[in-house]
Amino acid sequence: MHQNPELSFQEEKTSQFVYDTLQSFGGLELSRPTPYSVVAIVRGRRPGKTIGMRADMDALPIREENKTDYASRVPGVMHACGHDGHTAILLGTAEILAKHKENLAGEVRFFFQHAEEQYPGGGEEMVQAGVMDGVDVVIGLHLMSGLETGKIGIVYGPMMAAPDVFEIKIQGKGGHAAHPQETVDPIVIGAQIITNLQHIVSRRTGAFEQRVVSVTQFQGGTADNIIPDTAELLGTVRCFDEALRKDAEQKIEQIVKGITEAHGASYSYRYRYGYRPVINEDSVTRIVEQSAVELFGKEAVAYIPPSMGGEDFSAFLQKAKGCFFKLGSGNTQKETTYPHHHPRFDIDEDALVIGAQMFLQIADNLLKPE
């Protein structure tokens, strides 16, 4: 899979490889709920809970710089976030549980998801297709190069933020840079907007609330002696609370409206809600932590801080309680500590075995009669 990465909503060969691999195991019910996703089901002989386990499969538009024999063969595309590792872990888990389904009480569904990296995300598509109907608990993991191999990263409650996007277009009046008094300068207006947006966090967000507002693009102008007609700003809002998301949408426009009107300009504004926040349910998180301790001891558990990154595992959590945890894959000797989305990103493959062990132990603990 690492040699043959595919981008979001293009995972045709990847999903077929996953389907064919699952089919070779035997003992699994397979389906294709969307064109680029796969679901496998193993049913135990006795009734019990239904557990969902999810792995994503898509790659990123990055040219790989690693010189390994398994490096990407697709120019400009690589698995720079570990999704191929997630898929390998879930395939291994499915193979083992399929061989031992006679001992299971309940049902395990394996969700091989497309398009985690690109909004609106494959998770939402799969949920809308009904894959979560009847699921009691859902589990997911993510490799983490910043966490030592063998460590299991645990977060209770809010774990990953909602990644919203805002777009602002300032309509001014262009002219010669030598005569700025004859213009309505969208560059200067944009600079004031950027400065004032910082007040949303520093002065309009509670000290014990968590919110990030970042402007990531500022585009305008074509020459050194021309004040342009327009300028465009693009940025992101990250938070864990739905009320804070709606509040940010309103406050951004208040600032943009006030500044543009004060300088005789106009504006257009768009706020796009991204993935929902990932909120781990405490009782399920305790089982994940317990599973890590049972397998590897208390020293393997790392209580990590929440992340302002986004994850569409949140789509599955809208239908059932669950937990998303981090799986350490950082190893300095193997040079697997490069950050995610870096052209040198790589996986310590020892982590793949640990991930499968975690999924199996979690399944065993969740399916035990209460």
- Per residue in 102-139, pLDDT (tens digit) is 999 999 999 999 999 999 999 999 999 999 999 999 99
Q: Provide the greatest CA pair distance for the chain.
A: 82
Structure tokens at 25: 């195991």
- Ordered structural domains, the chain, with CATH: 12-160+278-367 (3.40.630.10), 162-272 (3.30.70.360)
- Relative to beta strand 105-113, strand 46-56 is parallel
Please report how the helices 350-367 and 83-99 are oriented relative to each other, as an axis angle in degrees rounded to 10.
50
Q: Above 70 in pLDDT, residue 370?
A: no
**pLDDT of amino acid 368:** 86
For the cut 70, the answer to whether the pLDDT of residue 157 exceeds it is yes
The arithmetic mean of pLDDT across residues 181-191, rounded, is 98
Could you tell me which residues come within 8 angstroms of residue 324 by beta carbon, excluding any fewer than 6 positions away?
A: 139, 140, 141, 142, 159, 160, 278, 280, 311, 313, 317
Query: Residue 266: its pLDDT value, please?
Result: 98
Q: Is the pLDDT of residue 84 over 90?
A: yes
Residues 27-47: what's their mean pLDDT? 97
Q: How would residue 369 be classed by pLDDT, with cut points 50, 70 and 90?
A: confident
Check whether 94 has a pLDDT greater than 70.
yes
Catalytic residue IDs: 58, 116
Burial class (CB in 10 A: 0-12, 13-18, 19+), 228: buried
Give the pLDDT confidence of 199-236 residue by residue, as tens digits: 999 999 999 999 999 999 999 999 999 999 999 999 99
- SS3 (DSSP) at 291: helix
